[in-house]
Amino acid sequence: MVTLRINVLTNSDDAFVSWAPSGFIKGCRGFMIERKRNVGSKEYLDILENRVGFDGDRARSGEHRPSSEWPFQRFNWTDHAVNVGNRVRYRVTAMIDSGSGRPFGAGPSSSWTPWAELTANCGQGFSAFFNRGLILSQFVARYMKSRKLNARQLKQSLVDSLDPKFRAFLEGDLGAALRSLLKDSSKSGSIHAALYELHESSLEDALIRLGSRAHIVLANGSDKSGDGNSDARDHLNSEGVATIDRLLRSKGLGHNKFVVFSRAGKAHSVWTGSTNWATTGLCTQINNGLLIKHAGMAGIFRKQWNRLRDASPPDTDPAAFPDTLVASNDAPTTISVGKAKTTVWFTRTSAGADMDELRSLIEEAKQAVLFLMFTPGSGGLHLQAAKRATEKDMLVRGVVSTLGNQAGNARQNVLDVKLIGAAGKAMRDRYSVVQPQGAEGMPSWIAEVTRGKFLSSIGHAIVHSKILVIDPLSAHPLVVTGSHNFSTPASRRNDENFVVVRDHPRLARAYAAHVMSVYQHYRYRSYVREMLAQDKQPWNKLENDDAWLKHQLKSKSVELAYWAG
């Protein structure tokens, strides 16, 4: 008898559900997903809905139906319709057509998963926060159409906060958490921040409320000839918040985005991650924030803040990177935070030791490597992951915002086979990396903001997170995140940081759920873009037989084996 195994990973925003049958299920048309959701004292039972129907269903634009009628012909799904604070559990059932069509009968079912809570708090002092900056999406396309906005107007409406509810949705719990931390500090604490960009009025106002208790090393952003943060700098200075100006210009980037929180002069927590303090960072890019409530970790970042302050002359003197700063960066610090072993790296380094460390971490992988990257460059870590996948039967999934030139290759959107050369199609199950794309030309879909339109009208970053997750389902997983782009320029030219967290399963699972959410979103869109570029019709209908299952059981054996645990 065929059985179904099921697994679920949660963070503060999503639940990533995966399942696998033990063998072929005759007549299977897909799988129904049921969800039990506990909100306060009430419990709800829902059947998750699918947005893809069978040929002949004449689906309307945006239509979705219960997965008992339009079952999922796949083996994992991200549930976006749950919220922070919910407790959830899931069950998957095969939908069987015995020859009479719909309504389908029920075939093998999984057991219900244990209850899981959607929360940022991962335990042992770590909390992980994510936004929902998926601008290349159907929900944003519908929003823009209803308000007759183009991409540039959408960006300006977010800057002006014309629709606070929509903006708050895009920010997710990331924006809310950052503001809450600053508000709490304004009551009785102080902060020491090292920031690359500051283009967000609400965060500027939060810093001004701190007054002289806000200590800020402020870089010049991406402006290599002047000061891209001049307006914010003038605003803060005029309101009594004196900034320490780290204007590196052509010497490199002051690319950190960390904040140390103190009370009574003692550092107690640190915030790091990928999020620039700008409307784009909060709303239009994919970003993350990691809060670590631990005096030792906060102290490490506070010492680095002091070094950056001392190395920030009032001009572009090369002394901005004195030998003492670089030597300190060459020596990472490792401490225990709860049961997790945590290492902190800062750059620039003298000989690329930080990149050597990142490569060695990928070499440690035994089961899976997941990642989100912005601009890793032509020799980046995504290639190291590809090499590892060719050597071992392991799962590698990732999204690279820009690979190669800024526009990216219009015909090379699904990068799995192209990057692994002679290994060919045999690697497709193991290794898949995509560039973000917006969908056009799909029946019953609204045309989305395209990659090119985003880059020309909204910003340079679609996925801005820098996340590496290794073996997240194991007892000894590993998470890396920070400001570092996993690239040679980040190592050789910039102020950067990244944190390596070992042996924290809950944190690894939270980050894994996030990476897979973003990967799933852009994987299909990249596939559509590639098919249309080749004048081929993309898959967009459910198959009305069980051949799909036979094919996928064979072609996705590594993925199935991994996510089902």
Give the span between the Cα atoms of 416 and 305, in whole angstroms. 40
Give the span between the Cα atoms of 424 and 417, in whole angstroms. 6
Structure tokens at 387: 């090499």
Last residue within a domain, chosen from 61, 92, 119:
119
What are the DSSP calls for 489-554, one per residue?
HHHHTSBEEEEEEES-HHHHHHHHHHHHHHHHHHHHHHHHHHHHHTT-PPP-SB-SSSHHHHHHHH
- Provide the 10 A C-beta neighbour count for residue 457: 16
What are the DSSP calls for 289-347, one per residue?
EEEE--HHHHHHHHHHHHHHHHT--SS--GGGS-HHHHHHHTS-EEEEETTEEEEEEEE
For residue 217, the cross-strand partners are: 194, 244
* Same domain for 288 and 158: yes
Give the span between the Cα atoms of 438 and 408, in whole angstroms. 13
* Same domain for 254 and 402: yes
* Same domain for 420 and 364: yes
Q: What is the CATH number of the domain that holds 390?
A: 3.30.870.10
Residue 13 lies in a domain: yes
Sorted by sequence, the CB contacts under 8 Å of residue 550 that are 6+ apart come out as: 24
Element (H, E) at 166: helix 164-188
Nearest Cα neighbor of 288 from 513, 473, 16 is 513
The answer to whether residues 292 and 269 touch, using CB atoms and an 8 Å cutoff, is: yes
pLDDT value of position 31 = 98
Residue 18 lies in a domain: yes
N residues, the chain? 565
For residue 37, the cross-strand partners are: 44, 88
Rounded to 5°, angle at Cα 216 from 215 and 219: 165
* Same domain for 404 and 301: yes
* Same domain for 165 and 42: no
The answer to whether residues 140 and 449 touch, using CB atoms and an 8 Å cutoff, is: yes
Q: How many angstroms separate the first and last alpha carbons of the chain?
A: 20
Last residue within a domain, chosen from 67, 97, 119:
119
Residue 273 lies in a domain: yes
pLDDT value of position 412 = 46
Q: What is the CATH number of the domain that holds 74?
A: 2.60.40.10
* Same domain for 299 and 254: yes
pLDDT value of position 315 = 60
pLDDT value of position 333 = 98
The answer to whether residues 295 and 268 touch, using CB atoms and an 8 Å cutoff, is: yes
Integer angstrom CA distances of residue 340 from 391, 467, 468, 500:
29, 18, 16, 10
The helix-helix angle for 151-159 and 138-147 (nearest 10°) equals 90
The stretches in the chain having pLDDT less than 70 are 314-318, 404-427, 565
Residue with tokens 């910003």: 459
Residue with tokens 């926060």: 129
- Name residue 196's amino acid: Y
pLDDT value of position 413 = 44
* Same domain for 182 and 44: no
State how many domains the chain has.
Answer: 2
**What are residue 174's phi and psi, to 5 degrees?**
-65, -55
Residue 551 lies in a domain: no
Say how far residue 540 (Cα) sits from the centre of its chain: 26
pLDDT value of position 317 = 55
* Same domain for 160 and 108: no
Residue 275 lies in a domain: yes
Give the span between the Cα atoms of 538 and 552, in whole angstroms. 17
Residue 558 lies in a domain: no
* Same domain for 176 and 60: no
Q: How many CA atoms lie within 13 A of 118 on its CB side?
A: 25
User: 74 lies in which domain range?
Assistant: 4-119
Residue with tokens 């140390």: 260
* Same domain for 155 and 87: no
Nearest Cα neighbor of 373 from 280, 482, 471 is 482
pLDDT value of position 411 = 43
HEC letters along 407-418: CCCCCCCECCCH
Last residue within a domain, chosen from 92, 119, 146:
119
* Same domain for 20 and 89: yes
Rounded to 5°, angle at Cα 26 from 23 and 31: 75
Residue 297 lies in a domain: yes
Query: Is 431 in a helix, a strand, or coil?
Result: strand
pLDDT value of position 440 = 83
* Same domain for 130 and 106: no
Phi/psi-derived region of residue 553, left when phi > 0, alpha when psi is between -120 and 50, beta in every other case:
alpha
pLDDT value of position 263 = 96
